[in-house]
Chains A and B, each alone.
Chain A
Amino acid sequence: MRILLAKCPRAHVSHFEENSESLALGYLGAALREHDHEIELLDASLTGLSLSETADKILQGEYDILGFTLADPTFIESTFKVISTLRDNGTKSHIIMGGHSPTFHYREILQMSPGLDSVAMYEGEGTIVELANHLEQGKDWHGIRGLAYRSNNGAECNAPRPLIRNLDDLSFPVRDTLPFLMEHKKETGVVSMAGGRGCYANCGFCSIKAFCSVPGGPSWRLRSNQDIVEEMEYLVKAYGVKEILFIDDVFVGPGQESIERISELADEIEKRKLKVMLSVSERVDNIDEGLFRRLREVGLRQVLLGAESGDQQILDYLGKGITPEQIRRAVDTLQGLDIDISLAFINFTPITRLEQLIENLRFFTGLKLNVLQGMLNRFQIYEGTPLAQKLNSAGLVKGKFPNLYYVSADRRVDVVYEIVQNSFGTFLSVAYELKKLERLLRIRLFEAEAGETYAEAALIKRERIRYQKMMNKIMKEAEELFLEVVNFVLVSGVRKNGNIESFTDRMMQASANSHKEWMRLIQFFRNLSPVLGFPESSRGGKSTQQRRRGINSVRP
């Protein structure tokens, strides 16, 4: 069978730039190739194709099956449009879609997208291979486990396919889009890997537990260390990869057993002499200083911490099972180890009161991290999550999929959200620019340390201090702007009137001014820096040693 696996671009322009491959497409592609099907990957989100370019590209080929992944609900509208265009132009292929949203909303998805033939629910590898085999052999595919499809009753859903028991049995994901990433996304592109699937924790906003438990679990599966390092080594040797991001929600996990497992992984990375910079995600209660010191020795330079809130009541509501003190301690530990931190939090939740919003803001800005994105994060309702069920049963969920929303208990919080949402957009791009800058410094420092070019490392460290100063100042300014919004709502209340509109306009202007000034300064710093350019050599060309020789050769 000839199969195209695709990811469409988002429907709306976003500050968020796609910077890694779709592992979903990669794993599905690997499973299909293993069964001798001919596959192509089209990651239009990564390559920057428009909707019409995506449809045109697909129409140029002839495929028996078209498989679309929906990474999150922001891809729904665009994917539906592409499918509709394909059908309008006579595409006869079997069209299937997979992902979390299609799994939990297969009925609505099939109804909203008449061009779609089926939905692969839960893990898709076994299902898509069986579908391809059935279609190839001319067999009826409607009984395949894990599939949902359109019927006279609207939609039918077969029994879920059990989860893959041993993840080591999976082939490594195909990396057809990796050369594009390395060639065209030098500044932001990062190669991703999965050390496992699922998560053991019980966060109320996350659907992964339901995604794993409905097919029979377990909720958290891990690859063996051997298998993980094999793939790392393959990426380094075959593609010259120098940086790997582990996409697992939790990389280490809880308890002594997890510490020992990851210590052994570190030993294996060291044994194979893999010089690769690593980024992982972890819960704050799993940050063990000894383990993370060891991980730093073998390349770890960034950790994404899921903090979610600085308020205990909200942390409990979100089912995080952590305390603000644990968040502080984890941040202190990682900062002490000189590991960069990216902090995820949800500033706006259904129970957040205005006073908590102020305290939460102070808590996060007090951590001296780039938290601008988190300031604007609002709790999203995802089907299959404990909190969605809770809100549903309380009759608090409004709208229709995919536009579900809720009204906060404290209406003033919704007004604050509306104002910052409308006015902070341009300022947010400063946060992304800072993230890029931080990443460039991280890469440069890692290369300098790995190459033992200590003079260059010292120079980069000095630039990092300057970056830190600038980032702190920008966060302070963002905090002040945010507090101005909160104070406005405190005084004026929730009534919609011309005051809110003119205040929003004023905040938009203030945000735009800040954006203009900071972007200019960031650009100014970058242009002055000897270490922040991203020359052609950044991946596989001129080495750090060579760059250093370039600098030293003209040093008086």
Chain B
Amino acid sequence: MSDRKTINVVNEDTFEAILTRLIDDREFRQAFFEDPETATEKLGIHITPEELATYMDVVQSRIEGGNVSFVEGLVLCSSSGY
């Protein structure tokens, strides 16, 4: 029994584009940590608020010690852990 679920957040290329921009562009980096949705919009990356919210939730969850992982463009969430 597992309540693990897989959520398609963003495709891999989009994800990589965001990460690359986070490294290279200081302004984007600052804006992203303030307001990720607006920052990615300005970047021209189409990412739904829901996708972004899930994405940020996952990050937040891991920061708080939740057991979730990101694998090849997919976020794997599990409250029971694996």
Contact = CB atoms under 8 A, between A and B. Distances in A.
B46 interface: no
Interface residues of B, number: 23
B62 A528 contact: yes
Nearest to B78: A554
Nearest to B33: A520
A395 to B, nearest CB: 48
B63 interface: yes
A469 B20 CA distance: 8
B19 A466 contact: yes
Given A473-B24, A554-B76, A528 B70 contact: yes
B47 interface: no
A551 B26 contact: no
Contact of A521 (B6, B23, B71): B23
B52 interface: no
Contacts of B6: 554, 556
B42 interface: no
Contacts of B72: 459, 555
Nearest to A554: B76
Interface in A517-556: 517, 520-521, 523-525, 527-530, 533, 550-551, 553-556
B71 A459 contact: yes
Contacts of B62: 527-528
A258 to B, nearest CB: 41
A523 B63 CA distance: 8
Nearest to B25: A473
Given A459-B72, A555-B71, A528 B26 contact: no
B29 A521 contact: yes
A470 interface: yes
B23 A530 contact: no
A524 B72 CA distance: 16
Contacts of B76: 530, 551, 554
B82 A550 contact: yes
B82 A554 contact: yes
> Which of B30, B33, B69, B72: most chain A CB closer than 10 A?
B69
B4 to A, nearest CB: 6
Contact of A470 (B23, B33, B63, B74): B23
B22 interface: yes
Contact of A517 (B19, B24, B29, B74): B29
B42 to A, nearest CB: 18
Given A459-B71, A523-B63, A553 B82 contact: yes
B39 interface: no
A543 to B, nearest CB: 14
Interface in B1-53: 4, 6, 19-20, 22-24, 26, 29-30, 33
Contact of B74 (A459, A525, A527, A556): A556
Nearest to A530: B69
Contacts of B59: 524, 527-528
Given A466-B19, A473-B23, A527-B62, A554 B4 contact: yes
A108 to B, nearest CB: 49
Given A523-B63, A524-B59, A556-B6, A529 B23 contact: no
Given A473-B23, A554-B76, A527 B71 contact: no
A556 B23 CA distance: 30
B18 to A, nearest CB: 10
9 contacts: A473-B24, A517-B26, A517-B30, A524-B22, A530-B71, A530-B76, A553-B82, A554-B4, A555-B72
Interface of B: 4, 6, 19-20, 22-24, 26, 29-30, 33, 58-59, 62-63, 69-72, 74, 76, 78, 82
Q: Which A-B residue pairs are the 4 nearest by beta carbons?
A: A527-B62, A530-B69, A550-B82, A528-B70
